[in-house]
Amino acid sequence: MTTKGRRVSRREQHRIGGTGASVTVRNTLIAYAFMLPFLILLVVYHTWPVIFGSYLAFTKYNIISPPQWVGLDNFRELFADEQFWSGLRNSLKYVLVVPVIQVISILVALLVNRPLRGIGFFRTAYYVPVVTSFAVVGLIWSWLYKQGGAVNSVLIGLGLMRGDHSLLDNPATALFAVMFVTLWKGIGYYMVLYLAGLQGISRELEEAATIDGATRSQVFWNITLPGLRPTILVCSLLSTISAIKVFEELYVMTPNGYPAGSTYSALMYSFSKAFGGDFNFGLAAAASMVVAVVSILFGLINFRLTKGGRSDA
Amino acid sequence: MPETTLPQTTLVSDPHAQLAAQLKVQRQRRERLRNAAAYAVLILIALIMLYPFYWTLVTSLEPTGNIYEAKILPTAVSLRNYAEVFSGTTVPFWRLILNSVIICILGVTFTTTLATLAAYPLARMRFPGRDLIFYSILILMVLPNEAGLIVNYITTIKLGLLAQTSPLADAARQYLAVVLPGAASIVGLFLLRQAYLGIPQELIEAARIDGARELTIWRRIMLPLATPTIAAFAILEFVAYWNSFLWARVMLPDKNMLPLSAGLLELSGTFSTNSRAVMAGAVITIIPILIVFLLGQKYFMKGLEGAVKG
């Protein structure tokens, strides 16, 4: 940012923007003309949903007739609905993915950070799941999880499973089976972010410590990991929020909370109230609002846990 | 480690030199072992990451057999399932491909044009309200937008984008309805603003002194110099538009308008007896994204890092 909203002398104006950049009515109009198409779409599809969505949460609305203000009725209905609670519980359960994904991604990033031959191939390979759609990935894994399918062969072969039934058909395991897919798809993404973080840590510091007789693990715990703290904050924040908002993978792999409602998520509740046939947009908006509040809370918890992402703390 | 140039006899007689040589051999062996272990783990993870795709490809090529079991090589190879997905479906598969191509072209064109235009005054002009706009957009980025799908559906209907008049106009409107919600990309705006800030001010000043108009400066100076960033952003957007399915599936009244990813889910519902054909469809859906990603990998990673840091 060059200006701080204060008056600037003519000379400074010349220094900052040159002759054509002096603040004139004409230039201001030109500037707004440049931004207008972007701003219009931004307001319609980003700002308006935030405002109107918050308002809808307190109304009864089905598109056909205008919204009716009902105060906190939607929220009362939500909290009285066992299905919403179980959805919220599953969304919170999904946060279990976060620490696992972070630990594995950091380890993988350390691994592909070595100057080995052909390391570029591995980095690319790990990123392929990231760039494929959840529609495709969800379908592929629902085939792999089938009875007699590849996943079961591996699990039975390793002695981790008795009897051949699909993990997606069992209420005790279905949510975890989908979690694994989320994990599998996310590792490459966080790996790239952690790689960038690792490259930002000074090599001199690590080398100096090694020369002073620090072991590999000492270097990792005392230099590398603290240096990664800002990256850990960003990554765990991103993955926590997407865990609480989990929806797409469940929508594809276990529609409608299959089996027996065991994979119903909070956002799926909102989705089904809006698009599941009864067009209850008010209730859907209220459920979305609860999800938003919960994800903000968890974001703050993340901040506390990583000490605000300061690498020197 | 410089090689010792001492004659052999001293090496044998000098215990220190002997020890040093031994240690060196040991260290090299340890390093080799460590690398071997690293490769073993790298290969194992690569298998876990890639096998699902490979399995899908192999199974889609098999005409018959035990469909879901783990496999390394196909029992037989035929393109029957691919023919099946093109001929045996209610929604023509070529139509899904066409929809995806049109949606991606529109989407990438819109997002890059809007972002390259809007970022210019924010980076390189001075006008009242600039900081206000900049910070409002920043705040908008962190506000939770969980109700987006719901409100955008209502907006789309209220804008009349799902109205039905004539086939061609309907199609055009529905393509717009799919593309518009993502057209103003905040991430793109910040990426491009950063790129513009890196362009020397002298160039712009010189052009202004020569009487160039802002639009000319934007087209002749900003765009060419920001090309790497624009390419990175375009690839990011292509991947996003190609992969998005939920919005289209929720909103589009006409199944013939669905993009590939969404159409695939539709197929897996109606085609449940013929999963192999759906697998063929999945392979066709993955290929373009893989090609774009592999060709533009450098740009893609750059864009991704910029997007998160931005």
**Closest CA in chain A for residue B262:** A135
CATH number of B88-306: 1.10.3720.10
Task: Name the H helices within chain A.
Answer: 10-17, 25-42, 48-56, 73-79, 82-93, 97-112, 119-131, 134-144, 150-157, 174-199, 203-211, 216-219, 225-244, 248-253, 266-275, 281-305
Distance CA B47, CA B39 (A): 12
When pLDDT is cut at 50, 70 and 90, the band that residue B203 belongs to is very high
Do B265 and A270 make contact, defined as CB atoms within 8 angstroms?
A: no
Strand pairing partners for A59? Answer: A69
Do B147 and A54 make contact, defined as CB atoms within 8 angstroms?
A: yes
- Give B8 to chain A, closest Cα distance, Å: 30
Distances A256 to A61, A77, A87, A223, B262 between C-alpha atoms, Å: 23, 20, 11, 47, 17
| Region B175-199 average pLDDT | 95
Q: At what angle do helices B227-243 and B186-197 cross, to 10 degrees?
A: 170
Which pLDDT score, from 0 to 100, does residue B11 have?
A: 54
Strand pairing partners for A3? Answer: none
Q: Percent of chain B, pLDDT > 90?
A: 75
CATH architecture of A87-256+297-306: Orthogonal Bundle (1.10)
Distance CA A173, CA A250 (A): 13
Distances B234 to A42, A218, B240 between C-alpha atoms, Å: 18, 43, 10
Which pLDDT score, from 0 to 100, does residue B92 have?
A: 86
- Give A247 to chain B, closest Cα distance, Å: 10
pTM of the full predicted structure?
0.90
Which pLDDT score, from 0 to 100, does residue B144 have?
A: 83
Which pLDDT score, from 0 to 100, does residue B273 have?
A: 79
Contact residues, chain A, for B186 at CB < 8 Å: 42, 46
| Region A172-184 average pLDDT | 97
Which pLDDT score, from 0 to 100, does residue A18 have?
A: 44
Which pLDDT score, from 0 to 100, does residue A101 have?
A: 97
**Closest CA in chain A for residue B37:** A111
Do A37 and B131 make contact, defined as CB atoms within 8 angstroms?
A: no
Which pLDDT score, from 0 to 100, does residue A20 have?
A: 46
Low-confidence winner among A294-298, B10-14, B148-152 (lowest mean pLDDT): B10-14
Q: Which helix (H) or strand (E) holds A59?
A: strand A59-60
**Closest CA in chain A for residue B144:** A292
Do A39 and B133 make contact, defined as CB atoms within 8 angstroms?
A: yes
Do A45 and B265 make contact, defined as CB atoms within 8 angstroms?
A: no
When pLDDT is cut at 50, 70 and 90, the band that residue A14 belongs to is very low
| Region B188-206 average pLDDT | 93
Contact residues, chain A, for B189 at CB < 8 Å: 38
**Closest CA in chain B for residue A274:** B150
Do B127 and A270 make contact, defined as CB atoms within 8 angstroms?
A: no
- Give B135 to chain A, closest Cα distance, Å: 11
Which of A12, A16, A35 is most worth mutating to test chain B (most B CB atoms within 10 A of its CB)?
A35
With an 8 Å Cβ cutoff, is A111 touching chain B?
yes
Contact residues, chain A, for B241 at CB < 8 Å: none
B291: which 2 tokens? 């090609």
Please, which residues have CB within 8 angstroms of residue B205's CB and are 6 or more apart in sequence? A18, A19, A20
Distance CA B281, CA A133 (A): 13
For residue range A218-248, list pLDDT tens digits in order: 999 999 999 999 999 999 999 999 999 999 9
Contact residues, chain A, for B59 at CB < 8 Å: 143
What average pLDDT is seen over chain A? 90
For residue range B18-77, list pLDDT tens digits in order: 899 999 999 999 989 999 999 999 999 999 999 999 999 999 999 988 899 999 999 899
Omega before A259 cis (within 30°)? yes
Domain boundaries, chain B: 23-77, 88-306
With an 8 Å Cβ cutoff, is A192 touching chain B?
yes
Higher pLDDT, B296 or B5: B296
3-state secondary structure string across chain B: CCCCCCCHHHHHHCHHHHHHHHHHHHHHHHHHHHHHHHHHHHHHHHHHHHHHHHHHHHHHHCCCCCCCCCCCCCCCCCCHHHHHHHHCCCCCHHHHHHHHHHHHHHHHHHHHHHHHHHHHHHHHCCCCCHHHHHHHHHHHHHCCCCCHHHHHHHHHHHCCCCCCCCHHHHHHHHHHHHHHHHCCCHHHHHHHHHHHHCCCHHHHHHHHHCCCCHHHHHHHHHHHHCHHHHHHHHHHHHHHHHHCCHHHHHHCCCHHHCCHHHHHHHHHHHCCCCHHHHHHHHHHHHHHHHHHHHHCHHHHHHHHHHHHHC
